[in-house]
Structure 1
Amino acid sequence: MSSDKGRGSWASKTEFILSCLGYAIGIGNVWRFPYLCYRNGGGAFLVPYLLMLVLCGIPLFFLEVCLGQFSGTGCVTVFKIAPLLKGAGLAIVVINYICTSYYNVIIAYPLLFLWKSARSQLPWENCQNDWNTPKCMELNAGAHTQLLMNNSLLGPSERWRTPADEFFHKEILQISDGIDTPGGIVWPLFVANVVAWVVIYTCIINGVESVGKVVYFTATFPFVILAVLFVRGVTLPGAADGIQFYIMPKWDQLSNMKVWADAAVQIFFSLGPGWGGIINMASYNQFKNNTKLDAILIPIVNCGTSIFAGFVVFSVLGYMSHQTGLPVSAVAAGGPGLAFVTYPEAIGMLPLPQLWACLFFLMLFLLGVDTMFVQTEAIISSVLDVYPWLRASKRWITLGSCFSMFLLSISCTTRGGLYLLQLFDWYSASISVILVCIVEVVIVGWIYGVGNFARDIGFMIDRPVERYWIVSWKYTTPIILTFIFFTTIIYNTEVRYDGVAYPGWAIALGWTSCLISMICIPGYAAYKLITSKGSILERIKANLKPVDWGPSDDLQRTLWKSHVEMNYEM
């Protein structure tokens, strides 16, 4: 019998796998990976990408799943394994709180597009709307396309804009001139944000019991939509040109260190380690679940989905190129520009554009809410694990958490909200999440001991841990994470959006949002050392030893202790 009866668990292994897939497969698989692939050598990019998956992505995913499942606890209390570094768990909560607040506004965008798409003509098909400016230019095969290609030479206010560009920025966002002119609240966006938060709260109100049921739809239906869009895309004229542009190998790019850095960063952020979500989801597993199979299957499906999404995106961009006369390189984009400008523009050229628009934006919404489920639940579970007496009021804790993050997200629903969102996205988690993962692998590989951890996993899954995992956790993964950490800093340029530079105070705010979480790690360590007794060396050693570490299930804990005594010394 578990010593923590009120915590809950997955009703089946399927719920855990679907939740992990929904968490790992997000909007970034659609708007980031395809662009990175074409920009970094096409098919050649798959070499560093898959290599990083094997050397870093899968081992790190397996490590976090094992930490959560073995301890049966969330991303803060799991650091009982090395109490001095519990600040990494606090950093995770801070990162999630900041990022989840603004991320919800991103999934509000598809809701507005869905609402606007339900009409006889898509509102971004032409320049005859109230929000259009004299700089609006409809895409067609003609001399005007050359002007669009020269946009990079013009300032933000001088550029020619497509109808979809102006629809997104002028109608959906009603965007201001910069972050220093926030303007008022954009009320349709505010309402969409409220609706998104209500959906999130309704789905996680009962924790894993409700999330486990919802993911049967939210985690699987995007694959159905993706398959439908793929069939539609590859049957279009010009699709082959777009796909060729996407995957054509440029082998000379492999000598560029930036390509390897992009591959490592994409694997890292695509799988989602360091955010606490993986640890938290695994903590609800049955203790004897075979984590090894899960940790291999889920990252492979995630990466396969990213590659497949590239075919979906670039087949339609090839059609767009065919229809307008613009080269594929001129229409390809990454980030929000791909999801909310370029792809909608291409959809507008298809027969039955309303159908394809609704399917695409429903897919984006579902991809987003799956990630939100996990990140929000990670915050709530962390609070309840630290203060288990609050579990009787879990619904109120959930409501309070969602409402407080909703209040924080309101700032991103103003006319300058996208600038603020871009700022947080650029700085808040890009470095701090990597640092959290470095702390995790150092704890397992060098402090608790990779041999001890392998022993624990072997006891848990009744299978020996192969040398591949041991070498990865002790050497390979820490080295690659260190590489990612420093390359992220080196290649981190000052944030911009649509050519608009940010003022110094905004950049300082961005770095502050990053440092707030990172400071938790040394800050908590200093607190533990100050409040402990003995010499500095004695305090450090005492606080690096595991405290109350082991399975949360009483029976398994007893058996594990006997296993430890028979095999190794703690």
Structure 2
Amino acid sequence: EKGMTGKMDPSNGLNRPMDIVPNTEEKMKDRGQWSNKLEFVLSVAGEIIGLGNVWRFPYLCYKNGGGAFFIPYLIFLATCGIPVFFLETALGQYTSEGGVTCWRKISPLFEGIGYATQVIVALLNIYYIIVLAWGIFYLSFSFSWNLPWSSCNNTWNTGVLIYKRRVLRISSGIDDIGKLHWDMALCLLLAWIMCYFCIWKGVKSTGKVVYFTATFPYVMLLILLIRGITLPGASRGIQFYLYPDLGRLVDPQVWMDAGTQIFFSYAICLGCLTALGSYNKYNNNCYRVVELQDQGQFVCVESLVTAVVDMYPSVFRRKNRRELLILAVAIFSFLMGLIMLTEGGMYVFQLFDYYAASGMCLLFVAIFETICIAWIYGVDRFYDNIEDMIGYRPGPYIKYCWLFLTPATCFGTFAFSLIKYTPLKYNNEYVYPWWGYTLGWLLALSSMVCIPLWVIYKMGTAKGTLRERFYELATPSPDLPKTRREQEKLQVVFAADEDSPHQRGAPTKDGYFPVHEKESHC
């Protein structure tokens, strides 16, 4: 920290630079911080190997032209993925706030962005962990001498049908929910127990867990890769999978799939990166993490819990209150997820996956995130904040992405997804009843309406003319960390007042000198 200004003043009791004071020590002690930079890097690196990449990306790559799919994927990565990834991480580090209160401090008018992200995360927590329950169910079979999918001597016949007839035991439709599979419910319970104990102590426990959870999957994938490429016919399989079909690039659906997959791959617009960044020290080089580029389920839960705790610190920053909140989230999500472990649960799961946390919702949030930072808060001001944190100014490319490329690309993809919308069909065969599609759209709108409804609510309850209301609500919170330039302006004002620091008295804990009122001669 000292290298940033070279000027320290112990009189404020913080051992922080006088001209840049991001937070009080009391608050940082209450919220907690990563023990070191490696814990944050591993937490973010774990996002890369989440289910969005291991489970979803290979399917989209094969579906959309093999190797040709990398062309739109990399374009969206450069114009949307990396810029928004950096924006959310830097925002969390600068404000030291969760996914809702960070936007409240940047611009009260756009606090609805935070609520939208947390609605998506809450829905994601309900259904995304179901995939982990399936994995645990398969793992339990692996401890038997004879793997059930290696023969046809089963009640569900061939090993190919084990997923449909043994794991899912699927019914004829969503209107035939059927009975609950208690063996799968136990797997889901085990998944939530592991998730709870990974984050129940906040970054103290999460920071230690990531040493294993962020590295072990890479080791396992490397082992599987080596095993895969040494199997007979591996070269033909790889060629069949990755051979580029450039003709698919003229299909707009390919570009839409690439754009939405970027958001799943890097957990963008979910508040996860903001939550992880908020536990960084103020001068951590968050830009370097972009150059690195889901810890999975527990990072999503951590994002939601961090947002709630920061919204109500007086309630949840007491002894054991945070642990009880995590327990409540886990129990609620577990109970809600049980419906997806019934005979008709797969149809409900598909509704959540297609609508609740769809690329359409994430693109909508990304549009307003970039508009708020670049045009309302001010892209140059945010660059000043980043320079204060990391010690240098990032290149101009990301700034122009925030201003133009990212919102334009996201809006174009979002508009196209509406124009080319096709109703969900399970396995491209089963057509949902009308109320099923209605439920799906309600899930999608539950997050997107948060942004416009919050703007309407704040503008309607504020006082003054329309212009005065907008100006007041677009103004950042005064307790945000001050940049060097802002502190220099304050020093000029103090110098003009011809007061010395000793005459003004000791600085406050926030690093400012008290201003005495002048005698009025009016």
Maintained 8 Å contact 2:388/2:483: no
Maintained 8 Å contact 2:168/2:343: yes
Q: Determine which structure has more spread, i.e. the larger CA radius of gyration.
A: 2
Q: CA 1:172–1:474 in structure 2 vs 1: closer, same or farther (change >3 Å)? A: same
Give the alignment partner of residue 57 of structure 1, picking from 58, 62, 81. 81
SS of 1:505 mapped into structure 2: helix
Cross-structure match for 2:442: 512
The one-letter code of the counterpart of 1:449 is G
SS of 2:149 mapped into structure 1: coil
Maintained 8 Å contact 1:66/1:457: yes
Give the alignment partner of residue 131 of structure 2, picking from 78, 82, 106. 106
Q: CA 1:558–1:481 in structure 2 vs 1: closer, same or farther (change >3 Å)? A: closer
CA shift, 1:558, in A, is: 7.8
CA shift, 1:191, in A, is: 0.5
In the TM superposition, 1:84-95 aligns within 5 A as 84-95=109-120
Cross-structure match for 2:352: 424
The one-letter code of the counterpart of 1:211 is T
Cross-structure match for 1:207: 202
Is 1:122 matched up with 2:117? no
Q: Distance in 1 between the 2:264 and 2:275 partners?
A: 17
Q: Distance in 2 between the 1:269 and 1:410 partners?
A: 24
Is 1:391 matched up with 2:320? no
SS of 2:144 mapped into structure 1: coil
Maintained 8 Å contact 2:49/2:217: no
Q: TM-score, normalization: structure 1?
A: 0.78
The one-letter code of the counterpart of 2:207 is G
CA shift, 1:561, in A, is: 4.0
Could you report, residue by residue, the CA deviation over 1:248-291 in whole angstroms, capped at 9, with x for unpaired residues?
22233333333222222222221111000001100101111111
Q: Distance in 1 between the 2:270 and 2:242 partners?
A: 31
CA shift, 1:35, in A, is: 2.5
Give the alignment partner of residue 37 of structure 1, picking from 36, 52, 61. 61
Q: CA 1:533–1:27 in structure 2 vs 1: closer, same or farther (change >3 Å)? A: same
CA shift, 1:81, in A, is: 0.7
Give the alignment partner of residue 497 of structure 1, picking from 417, 426, 444. 426
Is 1:525 matched up with 2:450? no
Give the alignment partner of residue 294 of structure 1, picking from 289, 297, 304. 289
CA shift, 1:379, in A, is: 0.8
CA shift, 1:565, in A, is: 5.7
Q: Distance in 1 between the 2:118 and 2:64 partners?
A: 33
Maintained 8 Å contact 1:65/1:295: no
In the TM superposition, 1:66-105 aligns within 5 A as 66-79=90-103, 80-105=105-130
Maintained 8 Å contact 1:6/1:391: yes
Maintained 8 Å contact 1:182/1:417: yes
Could you report, residue by residue, the CA deviation over 1:301-352 in whole angstroms, capped at 9, with x for unpaired residues?
xxxxxxxxxxxxxxxxxxxxxxxxxxxxxxxxxxxxxxxxxxxxxxxxxxxx
Q: Distance in 2 between the 1:529 and 1:191 partners?
A: 48
CA shift, 1:166, in A, is: 2.1
The one-letter code of the counterpart of 2:180 is I
Is 1:534 matched up with 2:461? no
SS of 2:148 mapped into structure 1: coil
Maintained 8 Å contact 2:357/2:444: yes
Maintained 8 Å contact 1:44/1:254: yes
Q: CA 1:449–1:559 in structure 2 vs 1: closer, same or farther (change >3 Å)? A: closer
Maintained 8 Å contact 1:459/1:560: no
Taking only aligned residues, the RMSD between alpha carbons, in angstroms, comes to: 1.8
CA shift, 1:541, in A, is: 1.9
Could you report, residue by residue, the CA deviation over 1:497-540 in whole angstroms, capped at 9, with x for unpaired residues?
22222111011001101111222112222221222111222212
CA shift, 1:216, in A, is: 0.8
Maintained 8 Å contact 1:81/1:549: no
**Identity score, percent:** 42
CA shift, 1:429, in A, is: 2.0
SS of 2:392 mapped into structure 1: coil
Is 1:477 matched up with 2:406? yes
Structure 2: gaps spanning 5 or more residues: 1-13, 15-22, 493-522
Cross-structure match for 1:333: none
CA shift, 1:107, in A, is: 0.8
Is 1:239 matched up with 2:234? yes
Cross-structure match for 2:516: none
Q: Distance in 2 between the 1:55 and 1:558 partners?
A: 28
The one-letter code of the counterpart of 1:385 is D
The one-letter code of the counterpart of 1:196 is A
Cross-structure match for 1:348: none
Maintained 8 Å contact 2:47/2:265: no
Q: Distance in 2 between the 1:444 and 1:566 partners?
A: 27
CA shift, 1:95, in A, is: 1.3
Q: CA 1:25–1:566 in structure 2 vs 1: closer, same or farther (change >3 Å)? A: farther
Maintained 8 Å contact 2:388/2:484: no
In the alignment of these two chains, the number of paired residues is 462
Q: CA 1:537–1:212 in structure 2 vs 1: closer, same or farther (change >3 Å)? A: same
Maintained 8 Å contact 2:90/2:277: yes
Q: CA 1:192–1:530 in structure 2 vs 1: closer, same or farther (change >3 Å)? A: same
In the TM superposition, 1:118-517 aligns within 5 A as 118-132=143-157, 163-298=158-293, 370-389=295-314, 390-392=316-318, 393-430=321-358, 431-498=360-427, 499-517=429-447
Q: Distance in 2 between the 1:539 and 1:264 partners?
A: 36
Is 1:24 matched up with 2:19? no
Q: CA 1:189–1:53 in structure 2 vs 1: closer, same or farther (change >3 Å)? A: same
Q: Distance in 2 between the 1:238 and 1:70 partners?
A: 52
The answer to which of 119-128 and 67-76 deviates more is 119-128
SS of 1:69 mapped into structure 2: helix
CA shift, 1:381, in A, is: 0.7
The one-letter code of the counterpart of 1:83 is P
CA shift, 1:9, in A, is: 0.7
The answer to which of 8-17 and 31-40 deviates more is 31-40
Structure 1: gaps spanning 5 or more residues: 133-162, 299-366, 552-556
